[in-house]
Amino acid sequence: MADQIYLYLGSVFTLIWGIAHLFPTRAVVNNFGGITGDNRQIITMEWIIEGVFLIFLGVLVAGVTYIDHSSLVSRYIYLSSGVVLIVLAVISLFTGFKVNFLPYRLCPFIFSLSAILIFIGALL
């Protein structure tokens, strides 16, 4: 039961952060100032894709936990999801963490926390 709590917490943090990415999309793109229409579309697309991916990852981990948290396939999904979150944390640490905007600076910590919770739940 404790393992499931860690897995659900990791998935909820990931899911909520993904949802939080979607709401400020317009404001984030507008902060780039006078850029071309193509660049606006690319930034919008990338910002939405990251949010949707995080939502998917959170739903995937929660769904697998609900269906069968102890199978070999479940453990593979947990470990691969945790690795992807760590990769995103490292990327965010070297890119967004340098930006003077709090949500960008929170990404490495939220991704790492989610990954750690998922790893703990997978290994218990």
The residue-averaged pLDDT of 60-72 equals 95
Q: Does the pLDDT of residue 101 top 80, yes or no?
A: no
Whether 122 contacts 80, CB under 8 Å: no
Query: What pLDDT is stored for residue 123 in this prediction?
Result: 93
| CA dist., res. 98 & res. 4, Å (int) | 34
* Inside any domain, residue 78: yes
39 falls within a domain? no
Domain that holds residue 60: 2-21+51-123
Mean pLDDT of the region 34-41? 90
- CA gap 27, 17 in Å, rounded: 17
Answer yes or no: is 107 within a domain.
Answer: yes
State the Cα–Cα distance between residues 84 and 102, nearest whole angstrom: 22
pTM: 0.91
Within a domain: 66: yes
Does residue 7 sit within a domain? Answer: yes
Q: Pick the closest to residue 116 from 77, 88, 85, 87 (CA basis).
A: 85
Query: How many Cα atoms within 13 Å fall on the side-chain side of residue 84?
Result: 16
**Structurally, how many domains does the chain consist of?**
1
pLDDT at position 2: 81
Q: Are 91 and 74 in contact (CB under 8 A)?
A: no
Examine the pLDDT at 47 and tell me if it is beyond 80: yes
Establish if 12 belongs to a structural domain.
Answer: yes
